[in-house]
Structure 1
Amino acid sequence: MQEEKPGWFAAMRKTEEKWGVPVAVQLATIARESSFRADARPTKRVGSSIFARDVPLSSAYGYAQAIDGTWEGYISDTGRRGADREDFSDASDFIGWYMNSNARVNGVPVTDAYNQYLAFHEGKAGFARGSYRKKTWLPGVARDVQNWAGIYHRQLMTCSSY
């Protein structure tokens, strides 16, 4: 990745240094949330044939799929007024900010990709209430994120500049 997207790698390293969230956890989260697409947005197809259209399911948007209210909280807390959800380095910093905050609020280590993802998906308060327990599919998704974080970590360990 360093060779393909050096700006991305530098951004994630900066986030790791600033917020403590490992590059591998950031990668796994972004992979799951947006498949590394800057303009990702969750939609549902409605209608039929030529009248079908995609309708947004939430305000989630960008690499990190940050919803409006949480993104606004990030901007307010960090003072990063020009941050953009379609900018990879801003999305990386957002993930670092969010997961670092979750570590402080809920005691989830930033290295715990499984529980950090549950909180990222459900919100810090939802995670604290255990709302993910009612979504039988979500722990499996969080396990996938955890597994991918492990794969990314092992790959990064083979990089000479990591």
Structure 2
Amino acid sequence: MLGLLVGVWATLRFSLLEPDPPANPDNLCDIFREHPVWYDYARDSEQRWGTPIATQMAFVFYESSFRSHARPPRTQLWGFIPWTRPTTAYGYAQALDPAWREYLEANGGGWFTVRTDMEYALDFVGWYNRLSHERLGIPFSSPRQLYLAYHEGRGGYARRSFEQKPAITGLASRVRNRAFRYDNQLKTCEQEFQCWRWYQFWPFCQS
């Protein structure tokens, strides 16, 4: 009973604290100006797992449009009655229940490690891509291939299931294009976010 209450409290807490989607999601500099702590989370994930900041943020853009509680729309029974959802994808990174449980088991997550928190969503993206890199040989510099493995699962990617899904390959190409565009944008403004906290000062917060 106590565990259930703690879980409910944690869910409500994060629901109330999560920010709105950025006003200008097409510009990574503007995204981080509005939510500078997201830069910290993305940089921590990059340093821990290897996926570039811009690639992580491109994933989140296409997975959830930066909506913390995003879920797939419900199917309809008889064409008009709201029914079940097609998958268990949830949160910023649209992590499925099995993959999220694997992430928690591998990284010691607890009650406060939730998919609606950008910190853990970006860490999940980085962790998943690290496994794709290690098991499938996909370089971190290939956001399109990383996204195909993310969307189809590593087993599906190995079977090349995406070759029969032009919508998915097209989406992966858009993820790649946005990741490269975000990366070019970040090069013009990243220094702004390396010393934004009051206790950070040159030269200790430089990249």
Structures share fold, TM-score greater than 0.5: yes
The answer on whether the counterparts of 2:75 and 2:85 sit within 8 Å (CA) in structure 1 is: no
**Which runs of 5 or more structure 2 residues have no equivalent in the other structure?**
1-30, 195-207
Q: What CA distance in whole angstroms lies between the structure 1 residues aligned with 2:59 and 2:190?
A: 24
Q: Which residue of the other structure, out of 111, 117, 126, is the alignment partner of 1:87? A: 117
Deviation digits for residues 23-68 of structure 1, max 9, x if unmatched? 110011000000000110012452589x542631111100000000
Q: Deviation of residue 160 (structure 1)?
A: 4.4
Q: Secondary structure at the match of 1:158?
A: helix
Amino acid at match of 2:182: Y
Alignment counterpart, residue 138 of structure 2, candidates 75, 100, 108:
108
Contact 1:39/1:86 (CA < 8 Å) preserved in 2?
A: yes
Equivalent residue number for residue 62 of structure 1: 91
The one-letter amino acid paired with 1:157 is K
Corresponding residue for 2:39?
9
What displacement does 1:94 show? 0.2
Cα distance in 2 for residues equivalent to 1:47 and 1:123: 28
Q: Percent identity?
A: 39
Equivalent position SS for 2:84: strand
Query: SS where residue 159 of structure 1 aligns?
Result: helix
Q: Which amino acid aligns with 1:143?
A: S
Could you tell me the TM-score, scaled by structure 2's length? Answer: 0.74
Distance in structure 1 (CA, Å) of the matches to 2:115 and 2:156: 23
Q: 1:151 to 1:54 in 2, by over 3 A?
A: farther
**What are the ranges of 5 or more consecutive residues in structure 1 without an aligned counterpart?**
none
Q: Specify the SS of the correspondent of 2:128.
A: helix
Report the TM-score when normalising by structure 1.
Answer: 0.93
Query: In the comparison of the two structures, how many residue pairs are matched?
Result: 161
Higher gyration radius (CA):
2
1:2–1:78 distance in 2 versus 1, CA, 3 Å: same
Q: What amino acid is the match of 1:55? A: T
1:75 corresponds to 2:75 = no
Q: Which residues of 2 match residues 138-149 of structure 1 at below 5 A?
A: 138-149=168-179
Task: Quote the residue 1:21 is aligned against.
Answer: 51
Report the residue type matching 1:20 in the other structure. G
Structure 2 counterpart SS, 1:65: coil
Counterparts in 2 of 1:16 and 1:136: CA distance versus 1, 3 Å: same
Indicate conservation of the 8 Å contact 1:43/1:54, yes or no.
no
Match of 2:166 among 117, 124, 136: 136
